[in-house]
Amino acid sequence: MVDDLTTIDGVGKMTAQRLEQEHYTTIMAIAIASPKDLSEKIEGLSLDGAIKIINSAKELAEVGDFITSAELKERRKNLRHLLTGSNQLDELFLRKEDDIVTKGLETTTITEFFGEYGSGKTQICFQLAVNATMPESEGGLDGHVIYIDTENTFRPNRIDDIARAQGLDLKEINEKIHTTKAFNAAHQMLLIEQKAYELAKKVPVKLVIVDSLVAHFRSEYIGRGNLGERQQMLNKHMHELLRFADLNNAVIAVTNQVMANPAQLFGDPTKPVGGHIVGHTSTYRVYLKKGKAGKSTARMIDSPEHPINEAIIALTKEGIRDG
């Protein structure tokens, strides 16, 4: 729903149009905006002007009261779940609320898959992309997919292989998966901040994939001197992904690279890149460890409600299956 933004002090018709173009379509969205972000996104708007508009919006906004846990449980009934092709992997996300059992990736959240090369991160993304186009009754989201490729790994023939194995219409599936290459970190952020919202106005986008999340940030912001700026930009990007997920009741799935932790003397020294920003913003974190004969171990290592648990998955030409 689009509010009449001209009721905000300092917002005329032209400014209202610019705000709506930048997806600030409600008074509440403006009331909780950052003055710096608002002034940067709206051409000709000074920082002082942005502060004035935000303060006026705060006075007009109907800020919701606290809600009870019971009310939140009721709202969570609107969440949807996306199956992965592997029942064992789906059960890592198993949950039970009011005698309703669900499994698979949850809408309005970010699920991060991290692991070394060949562990199955991109293969899972291909499977999720196909599955998201399927009806909800078949474990899909009955929607369209945005696939942001940062490492030149997207292959349409793999989409065909997976769709064909499930007896799906290849033309229909491919028309629902919208992909683009992100050439740098700024471009990657812009694709979510603008292009994703533009597409969501035309079709129901129910899954956003970023493969991989940190690659550009890692290569462009090199050295400790740039670490603070890198983490700030990454934090902004991930929260924009969460905002998109909330507004569209969509699943966000991202992949991440790994590095060795030299300080760890025992156990697996592998850890995901991106630091605490990625760790705290991702709702679910799944570690993929490459095995033998086309199999990988998927371990749920971080979740607000699930214990550490693992599943064996098989990476096949037909997609992700139980190992």
d(CA 280, CA 261): 19
pLDDT value of residue 206: 98
Query: How far apart are alpha carbons 316 and 323 in whole angstroms?
Result: 10
Closest C-alpha to 89, from 61, 59, 123, 65: 123
- Per-residue pLDDT tens over the stretch 25-76: 888 889 888 899 899 889 889 999 999 999 999 888 866 678 888 888 888 8
User: CB neighbours of 28 closer than 8 A, spacing ≥ 6?
Assistant: 57, 61, 62, 63
Cα distance between the two ends of the chain: 45
Which pLDDT score is estimated for 62? 67
- Are the folds of 5-60 and 73-322 the same? no
Task: Please list the ranges in the chain whose pLDDT falls under 70.
Answer: 1-2, 62-64, 260-270
- Output the CA torsion sign for 258, 259, 261, 267: positive
Residue 253 corresponds to which tokens in the numbers above? 């799935």
Give the domain ranges of the chain: 5-60, 73-322
In sequence order, the 6+-apart residues with CB closer than 8 A to the CB of 89 are 298, 311, 313, 320, 322
Give the Å distances, CA to CA, from 211 to 81, 150, 169, 267: 20, 6, 25, 27
In 10 A of CB 180, how many CB atoms? 14
Contact at 8 Å (CB) between 206 and 250?
yes
d(CA 180, CA 63): 37
- Taking each helix axis from N to C end, the angle separating 156-165 and 121-132, rounded to the nearest 10 degrees, works out to 60
Tokens read off for 285: 């974190």
| pLDDT for res 11 | 93
According to DSSP, residue 78 is labeled G
Alpha helices in the chain (DSSP H): 13-21, 27-31, 35-41, 47-60, 69-75, 87-90, 121-132, 156-165, 170-176, 185-190, 197-200, 215-220, 227-248, 275-281
Closest CA to 200 of 245, 137, 154, 262: 245
What per-residue confidence (pLDDT) applies to 274? Answer: 76
Calpha distance 30→49 (Å, rounded): 13
Local structure of 52: helix, strand or coil:
helix
Range 73-322 classified under CATH 3.40.960.10: no
- Structural contact between residues 213 and 274, judged by C-beta atoms closer than 8 angstroms: yes
What's the pLDDT score for residue 224? Answer: 81
Give residue 66's pLDDT.
Answer: 80
pLDDT number for residue 23: 80
Number of C-beta neighbours around residue 99 at 10 A: 5
Domain 5-60 = CATH 1.10.1030.10:
no
Report pLDDT for 196.
Answer: 97
